[in-house]
Amino acid sequence: MTTMSRDLHLDTLAIHAGQAPDPQTGAVMQPIHLSSTFAQQGPGVHRGFEYSRTDNPTRHTLEQCVAALEGGQQGIAFSSGSAATSALLGTLAPGDHVVVSDDVYGGTYRLLTKVYAPLGIEVSRVDMTELRNVEAVMRPSTKLLWVETPTNPLLKLIDIKTLGWLAGTHGIRLVVDNTFATPMAQRPLLLGAHAVVHSTTKYLNGHSDVVGGMVVTDDEDLAKRLRFIQNAVGAVPSPFDCYLVLRGLKTLPVRMRQHSQSAHSLAIYLDAHPRVHRVIYPGLPTHPQHALAARQMTLFGGMITCELNGGLAAARHVLSSTHLFTCAESLGGVESLIEHPASMTHASLPAEARAELGITDGLIRLSVGLEAEEDLRADLQAALS
């Protein structure tokens, strides 16, 4: 299935890639292989599986499915998005330099500065919406460009094709965290990225009941090193979690279309609301990189960030007044969530960095779920009144 997969549509791949009815029983759905170990005919003679930390059939299927969706050859699954990020950073050596976009998930910034910087990895944070900012900080020791697009939480758009070209001319790698967009909205490997990272916790699973991560790459050498880290460190997802993500993936295309449609209309509604200072949504013509969004993305996604008039007090009021939008960290589930980046997801960013970026106390982030859009609008309307 995965060898034919490139010619099929994403809607089809989401359901079938890496999956065929079980040859022994005919089961149409993938079995959950809970076994931690696998019988060998003799020492080292086996059917591809020895021990579940090293490889597991359910995990293997998930890796193939996500790789096909991203248009890549190799998927390597981890027990969280942060573990996937850490595995990629673990391929670096002391003295290596990483350029990271200034607006990234707080936990990614924390990993870089609090775990990898003390081990000798050098980090430059820049606004990657301008190519010249990246070029200005690159050094002979630069090994990775690390991009989120849209960024978390400010939904800035970064040009993957241009940065893929820049990385290529320097013989280094471009990593794109595709958690917010998903392959339904953009496929970074096809635009020149060397690896894609996901928190599968979010849209790929889509039901807020799994924590997981994934890296997809066509780079054989990188894949080999990541598989080594996957096995040696052992931050692997359980077979049950892999099954849940596989199950979630089957509806990813329909979910993403609906998330995007509802988010787009709510963004338009919020943009006209007198209590809202500004709305950031890639699909709005007022978004500073709207033209890039239209070029690079096939859907604008389900995330909206907006700044309320009235600062922290207004944000607190809205977050404690909505009923359908639950105040919680995370995103990408069928249910709508609302959060306050400054005190929740991005609290690990130093206050000066937050201020410099514009993560103000009045900023709120919405993950628009699959409830009726009219009900979500009424919920926001009541909370804003």
Which residues here bind ligand P1T, judged by CB under 6 A?
80-82, 105, 107-108, 148, 152, 177, 179-180, 199, 201, 211, 213, 329-331, 345
> Which one, 336 or 345, has the nearer CB to ligand P1T?
345
Which residue's CB is nearer to ligand P1T, number 2 or number 367? Answer: 367
Identity of the residue, 49 or 106, whose beta carbon is nearer to ligand P1T in the bound complex: 106
User: CA dihedral defined by 272, 351, 97, 200, rounded to 10 degrees?
Assistant: -50
* Minimum CB–partner distance for residue 164 and ligand P1T (Å): 19
- For tokens 């049950």, the residue is 240
- Picking from 220, 226, 202, 224, the residue whose alpha carbon sits closest to that of residue 212 is 202
Chain centroid offset of residue 300 CA: 14
Q: Is the dihedral of CA 368, 327, 247, 174 positive or negative?
A: positive
Q: How many CB atoms within 10 Å of residue 214? A: 27
Catalytic machinery residues: 53, 105, 177, 202
Residue nearest to ligand P1T (CB): 81
Distance CA 174, CA 194 (A): 5
Terminal Cα distance for the chain, rounded: 53
CB nearer to ligand P1T: give 49 or 203.
203
Q: What are phi and psi of 188, to 5 degrees?
A: -55, -35
Closest residue by Cα to residue 263 from 346, 332, 176:
332
Shortest distance, CB of residue 151 to ligand P1T, whole angstroms? 8
Smallest distance, ligand P1T to C-beta of residue 152, A:
5
Nearest Cα neighbor of 309 from 278, 275, 346 is 275
Residue 42 DSSP label = B
Give whole-number Cα distances, 92 to 142, 145, 179, in Å.
10, 12, 22
Q: How far is the CB of 249 from ligand P1T (least distance, A)?
A: 16
CB-based burial label for 220 (10 Å; 0-12, 13-18, 19+): exposed
What's the min distance (Å) between Cβ of 100 and ligand P1T? 12
Closer residue to ligand P1T, CB minimum distance, 58 or 182: 182
Instruction: Tell the smallest beta-carbon distance from residue 107 to ligand P1T (Å).
Output: 5
CA distance 117 to 120: 5
Nearer to ligand P1T, 5 or 157 (CB): 157
Could you tell me how far CA 24 lies from the centroid of its own chain? 35
Nearer to ligand P1T, 5 or 249 (CB): 249
CA 345, CA 22: separation in Å to the nearest integer?
A: 41
State whether residue 177 is helix, strand or coil. strand
Contact 78, 70 (CB under 8 A): no
Q: From the CB of 101, what's the least distance to ligand P1T, in Å?
A: 11
